[in-house]
């Protein structure tokens, strides 16, 4: 397995997907490093990858102290409220804000520390019972309510496609998230300067996601191989 070569190929595919869709903006590649040993993460870092995504707070806590200071860390898994107290300013973005009690807990912890957490609102576009996230019909109310929580800044939306969906079905889910964001902006519920990110697309479907407007893609196995378990 050549991690540097994998990263080169993924970045090339992202650039071609941007070209195909006529986009002139950029996409941030988040290397999903959950269960990946530190030595393999360092190989990705040496190849130029500085942005990593972790699912579990305890694993992130361990790795953040073992890896270089200029790594950018994203929390991409479902975040339990009792784990929020372990987060700190090394977290660049929380992708999985999916319920009101987490919003409240983040705001409470942020106020204690004088930190504003950058987050994405997770939306269950596919209406998949196995996935977390608010329903598409709940998004506007959630964003409106979130304005009363000054220590949480929601800067976009995140979704996960259905695992067993085909490419065209998956494309529709990604398109649905983009159209939802655009509708929110058109209604003036949020402002493009502070709310425009779309986190969608993983190893099997990131090119589709880029074509449909993703600004953040979360890729693990195509970089590091299948999950590594201790």
Domain-embedded: residue 63: yes
Residues 107 and 43: their CA atoms lie apart, in Å, by: 36
Q: What integer pLDDT is reported at residue 163 of this predicted model?
A: 77
Whole-angstrom distance, CA of residue 37 vs CA of residue 176: 35
Residue 195: how many CB atoms within 10 A of its CB? 19
- 20: containing domain: 3-224
pLDDT at 127: 86
Q: Which residues contact 61 (CB under 8 A, 6 or more apart)?
A: 86
Is residue 164 a part of any domain in this protein?
Answer: yes
pLDDT value, residue 59:
97
- Chunked in runs of 10, what are the mean pLDDT values of the chain (230 residues)? 94 98 95 96 98 97 96 97 97 98 98 97 88 93 97 97 86 97 97 96 96 98 79
Say what the pTM is.
0.95
Q: Give pLDDT tens digits for 103-154.
A: 999 999 999 999 999 999 999 998 877 788 999 999 999 999 999 999 999 9
Distance of CA 141 to the CA centre of its chain: 21
CATH number, domain containing residue 99: 3.20.20.10
Structure-token pair, residue 203: 């190893």
Is 53 among the domain residues? yes
DSSP helix/strand/coil, 122: strand
Domain for residue 172, yes or no? yes
For residue 229, the model assigns a pLDDT of 56
Nearest partner of 73 among 55, 97, 48, judged by Cα: 55
State the Cα–Cα distance between residues 216 and 219, nearest whole angstrom: 10
pLDDT for res 100: 97
**Is residue 230 a part of any domain in this protein?**
no
- Residues shown for the chain: 230
With respect to residue 229, please indicate whether it lies within any of the assigned structural domains.
no
Number of domains in the chain: 1
Task: Say what the pLDDT of residue 1 is.
Answer: 67
């Amino acid at each position: 397995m050549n991690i540097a070569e994998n990263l080169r190929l993924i970045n090339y595919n992202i650039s071609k997907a941007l070209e195909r869709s006529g986009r002139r903006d950029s996409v941030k590649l988040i290397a999903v490093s959950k269960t990946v040993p530190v030595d393999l993460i360092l190989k990705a870092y040496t190849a130029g990858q500085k942005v990593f995504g972790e699912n579990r707070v305890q694993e992130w806590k361990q790795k953040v102290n073992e890896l270089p200071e200029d790594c950018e860390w994203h929390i991409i898994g479902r975040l339990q409220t009792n784990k929020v107290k372990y987060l700190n300013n090394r977290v660049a973005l929380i992708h999985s804000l999916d319920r009101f009690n987490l919003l409240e807990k983040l705001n409470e912890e942020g106020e204690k520390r004088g930190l504003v957490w950058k987050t994405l609102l997770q939306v269950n576009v596919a209406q998949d019972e196995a996935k977390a996230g608010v329903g598409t019909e709940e998004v506007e109310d959630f964003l409106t309510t979130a304005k009363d929580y000054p220590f949480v800044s929601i800067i976009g939306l995140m979704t996960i496609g259905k695992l067993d969906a085909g490419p065209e079905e998956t494309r529709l889910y990604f398109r649905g998230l983009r159209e939802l964001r655009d509708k929110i902006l058109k209604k003036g519920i949020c402002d493009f300067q502070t709310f425009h990110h779309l986190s969608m697309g993983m190893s099997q479907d990131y090119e589709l996601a880029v074509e449909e407007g993703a600004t953040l893609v979360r890729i693990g196995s195509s970089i590091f191989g299948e999950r590594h378990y201790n």
